[in-house]
Amino acid sequence: MKKSILLTGTAGFIGSNFVPYFLEKYPEYNLVNLDLLTYAGNLENLKECEGNARYKFIKGDICNRELIEFIFNEYDIQGVIHFAAESHVDNSIKNPGVFIQTNVNGTFTLLDAAYKYWMEKPFTWKPKYQDCRFHHISTDEVYGTLSLDPSDLFTESTPYAPNSPYSASKASSDMIVRSYQETYGMDTVITNCSNNYGPKQHDEKLIPTIIRRALAGESIPIYGDGKNIRDWLYVLDHCKGIDLVYHTGKTGEVYNIGGRNERTNLQIVDAITTILDQRVPKGKSYKELITFVEDRAGHDRRYAIDATKLESELGWKADENFDTGIVKTVEWYLKKYH
């Protein structure tokens, strides 16, 4: 008998990279995909899965308690991997309310429905559901910002210090997940990942914006002085990390996932425009389109992950480094935008 796993937010960037990978790797699972299809969700991202009998898509809101309970009952859900979120920091500055609604209330609704479906009471599982796990996908942004000292890295014990409404909403959701583990004995795991890049990311994010605007001959906006540092991870390496933690992570634990590939935004735009200059030369360099714009409010200076726990305890290792991953990424967007 196949097991049904509920995946949320899979029409977005990371989820839509995860589903085909997971569907192919685990023939013993049925995947029930719940996504509200906000502006960030696109079913085109999941087209390759549509014909698969083990893939089911449901359009709906993670805040809709009735719907969530219906899905647990109807499909006998025995695991949750929760990607759904409002995820764009700039939007959270303009319109924080929806971030609290989806990221905090939505996570609570899912967790509480899972608890009631899988468990009789605190620390007592219904017999059939003893192996059921809730995996919450989160971000390194919950830890706040780092100094420029290269040895200063986010570990799983770094205190939370979220700075944007987005990261504060994700930090809150992490805390609610933790409380269900501590108070009710639910089997939860949390992964906090650094910035992802790769195919299927929404146009609004940095790397697709750089490629799209460069190809259109438009200015490429870079915030502030361009020296903000992020730790970039190829999306499929994140998916492999999630798979590993979901299946082998210790209950109640948090794992950081990061590529040890710190880059400033200027290095990112330089790498991409160098590839574009070689792949689709236009007479003058794409670098001439780079334009500095007013910095994002409260823009965190540096994020960098120490992934030692995931590497040493579970044996995870990124397959791509930034130089290999960015070439694959640009190739994918060239097909989309060119």
Footprint on this chain of ligand NAD (rule: CB under 6 A): 8-9, 11-15, 34-38, 40-41, 61-63, 83-87, 102, 106, 137, 139, 170, 193, 195-196, 202
DSSP string for 47-114: GGGTT-TTEEEEE--TT-HHHHHHHHHHHTEEEEEE------HHHHHH-THHHIIIIIIIHHHHHHHH
* 141 among known catalytic residues: yes
Q: Which two tokens stand for residue 116?
A: 């009631």
Query: CB of 127: closest distance to ligand NAD in angstroms?
Result: 31
- C-beta neighbour count of 111 within 10 angstroms: 24
Indicate which residue of 61, 140, 237, 243 is catalytic: 140
Q: Between residues 197 and 286, which has the closer beta carbon with respect to ligand NAD?
A: 197
- Rounded distance, CA 150 to CA 177, Å? 31
Of 298, 329, 337, the C-alpha closest to 145 is 298
* 166 among known catalytic residues: yes
Query: CB of 103: closest distance to ligand NAD in angstroms?
Result: 7
Indicate which residue of 141, 174, 262, 300 is catalytic: 141
Of 220, 215, 206, the C-alpha closest to 290 is 220
Query: CB of 86: closest distance to ligand NAD in angstroms?
Result: 6
Q: Between residues 106 and 286, which has the closer beta carbon with respect to ligand NAD?
A: 106
Query: CB of 170: closest distance to ligand NAD in angstroms?
Result: 5
Q: Between residues 101 and 285, which has the closer beta carbon with respect to ligand NAD?
A: 101
CB neighbour burial string for 7-42, b if at least 16 within 10 angstroms, e if fewer: bbbbbbbbbbbbbbebbeebeebbbbbbbbebebbb
Contacts (Cβ under 8 Å, ≥6 apart) of 32: 4, 5, 6, 7, 56, 58, 71, 75, 77
- Rounded distance, CA 77 to CA 237, Å? 26
Q: Between residues 97 and 122, which has the closer beta carbon with respect to ligand NAD?
A: 97
- The closest residue (CB) to ligand NAD is 12
Query: CB of 137: closest distance to ligand NAD in angstroms?
Result: 4
Q: Between residues 178 and 202, which has the closer beta carbon with respect to ligand NAD?
A: 202
Task: Give the residue numbers marked as catalytic.
Answer: 140-141, 166
